[in-house]
Structure 1
Amino acid sequence: MINININKKLHGSNADMNLDIDLSIQEGEFLALSGKSGSGKTTLLRILAGLEDATGNIKVGEDSWLDAKTKLPPQKRAIGFVFQDYALFDNMSVLNNLLYVKKDIKLAEHLLGITELSELKDRLPNTLSGGQKQRVALCRAMMNRPKLLLMDEPLSALDPAMRTKLQNEILTLHREFNTTTIMVSHDPSEIYRLASRVVVLENGKITNDGKPIDILLRTSGSQKFSFSGELLDIKKVDVIYIAIIAIGQQLVEVVVSEDEAQNLNIGDAVEVSTKAFTPIVSSV
């Protein structure tokens, strides 16, 4: 069990706020941290890693990482950290990037095999693609068999196909090593595919906590579908108005009434919902 009860004052771009977290995480759980930018997600990861100070307590099993008398340094915390920017050593081969963490050639080769990097083990990072670099970073994070794996939007810079591939590999490693994993993500499909639990932060506080299906499916009443997006444009075609809305990485056209068109502004965050129709789902 990981018990987190911490507080830290944050100086945001708009206003100051308190990061005030009281959270318990089961061993082996895969928890996703969600919420708007600036809500405190990355700061929480950095506090858990020992990279930032906070007041309060962090207890992992029987070990105290943070309390009134103790602040365990990062190198003594059994963590793995996967950043957005890979943070690899450019002058070291793929294999040596892993062995730098721990001189365990058997484990390194096992991790490279799981992530299909064995044939690239002698290559330098600057000769790899973004997806390959992130796989190396993931393997390196697992080299000390961490009790806690922290990931800060690790796949945000990758294309959809590569994201799906790495999501599968992350899940494989999480299950094989029985690592407790905390991942920051803004991608609902990624959260749904990977996480067993979602914690939503807003202004430094937990506002929602539950299973992905309960947190991510935000329909209400008799609505069958509900999607959030950004209004990009409204155009008039003959006698009807069509709203162009970005939902995730897709653009959709939605017919709106004249009254709706007059009350909407370009750049608005909007919700697209419907109460009754029969969808057709097919492979693409």
Structure 2
Amino acid sequence: MIRLEVKKRLHGSQGDFYLEVSLEVKDKEFVVVFGPSGSGKTILLRMLAGLETPQEGYIEVNGEIWYDSKKGINLPPQKREVGFVFQDYSLFPNMSVFENVAFGMRRKDPDKVMELLRLAKMEELKDRKPNTLSGGQKQRVALLRALAREPKVLLLDEPLSALDHETALLLRDEIKSFQRRYGIPTLMVSHNKEEVLRLADKVIRLVNGKMQAYGKPKEVLFSRVWSPKFSFQGIILEKQRMDFIYLLSIAVGSEIVQVVVDQDTANSVNVGDTVLVSAKAFIPVVRKVHSPHLST
């Protein structure tokens, strides 16, 4: 069980704001922290790990106080028994796969290391150095190293964002399988809605340091508090005329969607424009947000 209530002043692109989170995570729960960049998601994980210090509040894990501003308690990171997986892997380049996995263990256990490597189907790579591994293999090693610590809390900071889509899908399933197998309460930062739906037991929607919503994935992602109607913003890649209608091809992140619009709407936008597409009663409405053709 994780219980925390923390507050910390942060410096954002729009000025200073406070990160304020009150949260309970039960045993074996997988909680995803979701929301726009600069909202304090990674800082929340770093405060749990002891790498950042809140200005006030408390952090309690399995009945042990890790931080309490009133009592003057602040355990250092090495005493918090946290497994932390970073986006950039953070492997030791001069160590083998086996040595990287074993590095964080409180009690060196070669059999435990090999068990983890076998579960990840990496036992044949045990003597390889990180620079000879693919991105997915490196992230597996980072995950196994975190699990080898037998942590009380597992923290994942966008562990799949640097991987190609197919590799990310495979590793996503492995993360869930390992988390369930070892029953470790887990917090993960993600910007990917599919990851949220597939991995999370609960989701925190964090915006400008505030918990806008907290609950089951579908409750949070599709709640009226977040979005009263379907909408997304993207850039027009192509405009095609088809009989009496127009078809817009719009880039949204790494995806491309096509939207049918009338002639008036098509005439009001051009390739390269940033547009907001929203749907009300299943009728798409396209509004231009920005045009690169306009001089500033």
Instruction: Answer whether contact 1:83 1:152 (CA < 8 A) is retained.
Output: yes
Q: How does 1:59-208 map to 2 (within 5 A)?
A: 59-68=60-69, 69-102=72-105, 103-208=108-213
Q: Distance in 1 between matches of 2:264 and 2:4?
A: 49
Number of matched pairs = 273
- Which residue is equivalent to 2:2? 2
How far residue 241 of structure 1 moved from its aligned partner, in angstroms, is: 2.9
SS at match of 1:96: helix
SS at match of 1:253: strand
- Which residue is equivalent to 1:30? 30
Instruction: Answer whether contact 2:2 2:24 (CA < 8 A) is retained.
Output: yes
Q: Distance in 2 between matches of 1:274 and 1:118?
A: 54
Instruction: Answer whether contact 2:233 2:274 (CA < 8 A) is retained.
Output: no
SS at match of 2:150: coil
Q: Does 1:39 align with 2:39?
A: yes
Q: Distance in 2 between matches of 1:82 and 1:227?
A: 32
Change in CA separation of 1:218 and 1:22 when aligned onto 2, cut-off 3 Å? closer
How far residue 219 of structure 1 moved from its aligned partner, in angstroms, is: 8.0
How far residue 264 of structure 1 moved from its aligned partner, in angstroms, is: 6.1
Q: Distance in 2 between matches of 1:155 and 1:195?
A: 14
Instruction: Answer whether contact 2:231 2:276 (CA < 8 A) is retained.
Output: no
Q: Distance in 1 between matches of 2:230 and 2:221?
A: 10
Which of 248, 267, 271 lines up with 2:274 in the alignment?
Answer: 267
In structure 1, the gaps of 5 or more residues are 277-284
- Which residue is equivalent to 1:237? 241
Q: Distance in 1 between matches of 2:129 and 2:281?
A: 51
Instruction: Answer whether contact 1:228 1:272 (CA < 8 A) is retained.
Output: no
Change in CA separation of 1:250 and 1:99 when aligned onto 2, cut-off 3 Å? same
Instruction: Answer whether contact 1:33 1:201 (CA < 8 A) is retained.
Output: yes
- Which residue is equivalent to 1:280? none
* Per-residue CA distance 1:24-73 (angstroms, 9 max, x = gap): 11111000000000011011111111001112101112100110210010
Q: Distance in 2 between matches of 1:2 and 1:22?
A: 11
In structure 2, the gaps of 5 or more residues are 284-296
Instruction: Answer whether contact 1:245 1:251 (CA < 8 A) is retained.
Output: yes
SS at match of 1:142: helix
Q: Distance in 2 between matches of 1:96 and 1:27?
A: 29
Q: Distance in 1 between matches of 2:235 and 2:29?
A: 37
Q: Distance in 1 between matches of 2:267 and 2:153?
A: 51
How far residue 110 of structure 1 moved from its aligned partner, in angstroms, is: 1.1
- Which residue is equivalent to 1:281? none
Q: Distance in 1 between matches of 2:220 and 2:38?
A: 20
Change in CA separation of 1:219 and 1:98 when aligned onto 2, cut-off 3 Å? same
Instruction: Answer whether contact 1:234 1:241 (CA < 8 A) is retained.
Output: no
Q: Distance in 2 between matches of 1:8 and 1:117?
A: 40
Instruction: Answer whether contact 2:234 2:253 (CA < 8 A) is retained.
Output: no
AA matched with 1:49: A
- Which residue is equivalent to 1:51? 51
Q: Percent identity?
A: 46
TM-score normalised according to structure 1 size? 0.89
**Aligned alpha-carbon RMSD (Å):** 2.3
Q: Distance in 2 between matches of 1:250 and 1:219?
A: 24
The farther-off stretch of 172-181 and 246-255 is 246-255
Q: Distance in 2 between matches of 1:150 and 1:49?
A: 8
Change in CA separation of 1:156 and 1:172 when aligned onto 2, cut-off 3 Å? same
